Structure 1
Amino acid sequence: MAEVMRGAGGRGVTPLAWVRARLRNIAPFVTLIFLVVFFALASPSFVSVANFWNILTQISVTGIIAVGLTFVILCAEIDLSVAAIANAIGIIAAFFTLQDASVNIANIALPGWAAIVIALAAAVGLGLVNAIGITRVGIPSFIMTLAMLQIGAGICAMLVRGQIAYAVPDLALTLGSKSLGPVPWIVIVLAITLAVAHVVLTYTRFGRYVYMVGGNREAAEYSGVNVKLIISAVMVISAVCAGLAGMLGVAYFGSAQQNEFDTYLLDSISAVVVGGTSLFGGQGGIGNTIIGLFVLGVLNNGLDHVNIDSFLKILIRGLILLAALVINVYAQRMKATAIAAEG
């Protein structure tokens, strides 16, 4: 007879049932371990302190965007505009520090701190537009943020007009491209962002409301939660995180240009979903996002070490994302079946 564990209410739970109940969290961790072991055996250069910092640096911009998306997805919403907002805010920060009239059509040059304030204010504004469209007008988040994606692209085109801006505020330059000893500042910013988000989601009333809205929106409303306010707040958080990532990314890459962060939309969503946060809302969190970031970071970095064809690399990433989606949906079905059985 199979050994029995104790579940909620003291009822017996078999090991298989215990694993199924935690499949969403276990699968990403097992995937990460497998990838680390595989690439360590396939390429000795993969296992080094320098490469570890390299992986952390590579996932930093994606990670900051993914933090904001974690809030959104926990509410059972989606934000497809994060990459466009990152592009727009990075360009806005550079735009107001430029002095070359051939690029800066307004010929405006401000102190670095003022450019950063304006850029962050713009991020809040774009997030509010998303929030109003979703909660007041009633546009589904998928469609609203798809429209914002185009708006962000339009802002980028209007400001740089196909050219490349190289000026970056000094603070953004330091945080995006320099180091504190051996530790890149951008990694420190990522760690702080992850830590603050984890504390907010885990230990604050707002965090509990986020989970309630994602888990059962109707029940949250009956409990007195202002669902529209929570959804609005997570859309603004997502836009601000994207804007911060955009400014640091511009400093990291050394320039601001159109479409610079387009690939980060899929990467950031993948990090959240691959890590195990439920697409249906209410389950997951920053811990899952961290695992997802490392899965993607190790995968991308490891494939470079073993010289895999770049086109095959894209295919492998797509297959891993598909597997994560299947596990996500399967885990949700098992949860619904378990709830129905208990009822």
Structure 2
Amino acid sequence: MNDDITSASTAHPAPARRGLGAIARSQMRNIAPFLTLIVLIVFFSVVSPSFATLGNVGNILTQVSVTGIIAAGLTFVILCAEIDLSVASIANATGIAVAYFTLQDSYVNIANVPVPGWVAILLALVACSALGVVNAAGLVVIGIPSFIMTLAMMQIAAGISALLVRGQIAYKIPALISTLGSGSVGGIPCIVLVAAFVLLLSHLVLTYTRFGRYVYLVGSNREAAENAGVNVKLILGAVMVISAVCSGIAGMLGVAHFGSAQQNEFDTYLLDSIAAVVVGGTSLFGGRGGIGNTIVGLFVLGVLNNGLDHVNIDSFLKILIRGLILLLALIINVYAQRLRETSAD
């Protein structure tokens, strides 16, 4: 009897160890980005004394704010196992639109009738929402794959930008946008506060609302979502509009932060926003991840870009390193999905 008890007690820890290993493998998508962030912070803090300063932390937060707003909306789309390649172009078009409608200070000119500057903001928001609706209609009504639909929208939005500015640079924007994009409150840049608010609101929606649960369900198993009575087309259309609106907000604030509106101003933000979501650990296959992952991904990219500036590395090499980081994140993403499928079997 005692031998049986002894053998049972010694055999018990083995499943626990296997359980810990399984947990580690299942959480690899979340653990790897966080460890990457820690390694980058430690490395740049050692090689550059100017990196680990409070002022530089503020610089990093400011640098990732526009990307963070775009990435918040893009997270909804990727959680549904879709993609939006038009986010940067919509941001650019919206930023140009709000500058285009602005006549001077806080007034816009429509048919030579001056109206308050908030109308310019409203028109710009309507414009980016309309572009999102077109994306949604192409995806859920016509049935065009999101990759192709948003690729076409990327060109459409770029064309709108070119048509509005015609090679010129616009400087005047409504006072509210100027304050939110380039002002500060208590020493904290307003654009950082707006980005934090958008990310927090997105997290609350995804975590605590029925809509958020439907987003995860649609991304995890679209057929199961339909069987459960979820209007899958409505959810897919909604996330495309959310993505466009977030891009529009980022575009308007970005124009204020940069100090001008011009063509191709947001081109680099497409890769940055997708990288923030994917590097953070949100699954390209849908249903796994969230805003927390996106925030980690934002900091990984922000610390990487800022840190490389502090060590005076070749600018071309910087692009290569960012590409390698993204490739590594994609490999982890795909590998984690395979582990998930294997464990499910």
Alignment-derived partner of residue 194 in structure 2: 189
The 3 A distance-change label for structure 1 pair 13 and 21 is: same
Identity of aligned residues (%): 72
Amino acid aligned to 2:152 = A
Cα deviation for residue 109 of structure 1 reads 5.7
Alignment-derived partner of residue 261 in structure 1: 266
Alignment-derived partner of residue 215 in structure 1: 220
Alignment-derived partner of residue 304 in structure 1: 309
Instruction: Give the greater-gyration-radius structure (CA).
Output: 2
Contact 1:98 1:165 in 2 (8 A): no
Alignment-derived partner of residue 72 in structure 2: 67
Cα deviation for residue 138 of structure 1 reads 0.4
Cα deviation for residue 15 of structure 1 reads 2.8
Inter-partner Cα distance in structure 2 for 1:109 and 1:38: 55
The 3 A distance-change label for structure 1 pair 107 and 85 is: farther
Inter-partner Cα distance in structure 2 for 1:105 and 1:224: 45
Cα deviation for residue 105 of structure 1 reads 11
Contact 1:3 1:14 in 2 (8 A): no
Amino acid aligned to 1:320 = I
Cα deviation for residue 112 of structure 1 reads 1.7
Alignment-derived partner of residue 243 in structure 2: 238
Q: What CA deviation, in whole Å up to 9, does each residue of 1:187-246 have, x standing for no partner?
A: 000110011000000000000000000000011001000000000000000000000000
Q: Does 1:124 align with 2:129?
A: yes
TM-score, structure 2 as length reference? 0.93
RMSD across aligned positions (CA): 1.7
The 3 A distance-change label for structure 1 pair 108 and 69 is: farther
Inter-partner Cα distance in structure 1 for 2:126 and 2:245: 9
Inter-partner Cα distance in structure 2 for 1:107 and 1:57: 37
Cα deviation for residue 18 of structure 1 reads 1.8
Alignment-derived partner of residue 172 in structure 1: 177
Alignment-derived partner of residue 8 in structure 2: none
Amino acid aligned to 1:44 = P
Superposed structure 1 runs of 4+ greater than 6 Å apart: 104-108
Amino acid aligned to 1:48 = T
Amino acid aligned to 1:123 = C
Alignment-derived partner of residue 3 in structure 2: none
> Which residue, out of 111, 114, 118, partners 2:119?
114
Cα deviation for residue 17 of structure 1 reads 2.1
Contact 1:97 1:108 in 2 (8 A): no
| Counterparts of residues 148-159 of structure 1 (less than 5 Å) | 148-159=153-164
Alignment-derived partner of residue 7 in structure 2: none
Amino acid aligned to 1:178 = G
Amino acid aligned to 1:63 = G
Inter-partner Cα distance in structure 2 for 1:44 and 1:231: 47
Inter-partner Cα distance in structure 2 for 1:234 and 1:18: 30
Cα deviation for residue 108 of structure 1 reads 7.5
Q: What CA deviation, in whole Å up to 9, does each residue of 1:1-28 have, x standing for no partner?
A: 895575xxxxx74432221110000000
The 3 A distance-change label for structure 1 pair 27 and 106 is: farther
> Which residue, out of 233, 242, 247, partners 1:228?
233
Inter-partner Cα distance in structure 2 for 1:153 and 1:96: 18
Structure 2: gaps of 5 or more residues: 1-10
Inter-partner Cα distance in structure 1 for 2:178 and 2:165: 19
Alignment-derived partner of residue 17 in structure 1: 22
Cα deviation for residue 182 of structure 1 reads 1.3
Amino acid aligned to 2:73 = G
Inter-partner Cα distance in structure 2 for 1:108 and 1:234: 36
Alignment-derived partner of residue 45 in structure 1: 50
The 3 A distance-change label for structure 1 pair 209 and 96 is: same
Amino acid aligned to 1:129 = V
Q: Does 1:330 align with 2:335?
A: yes
Alignment-derived partner of residue 90 in structure 1: 95
Contact 1:96 1:109 in 2 (8 A): no
Cα deviation for residue 110 of structure 1 reads 4.2
Inter-partner Cα distance in structure 1 for 2:64 and 2:208: 26
Amino acid aligned to 2:208 = Y
Amino acid aligned to 1:189 = V
The 3 A distance-change label for structure 1 pair 51 and 138 is: same
Match of 1:45, SS? coil
Match of 2:102, SS? coil
Q: Does 1:27 align with 2:67?
A: no
Q: What CA deviation, in whole Å up to 9, does each residue of 1:14-64 have, x standing for no partner?
A: 432221110000000000000000000010100111000100000000000
Aligned residues: 332
Inter-partner Cα distance in structure 1 for 2:13 and 2:318: 42
Cα deviation for residue 107 of structure 1 reads 6.9
Structure 1: gaps of 5 or more residues: 7-11
Alignment-derived partner of residue 253 in structure 2: 248
Match of 1:225, SS? coil
Cα deviation for residue 106 of structure 1 reads 7.6
Inter-partner Cα distance in structure 2 for 1:332 and 1:214: 13
The 3 A distance-change label for structure 1 pair 179 and 225 is: same
Alignment-derived partner of residue 9 in structure 1: none
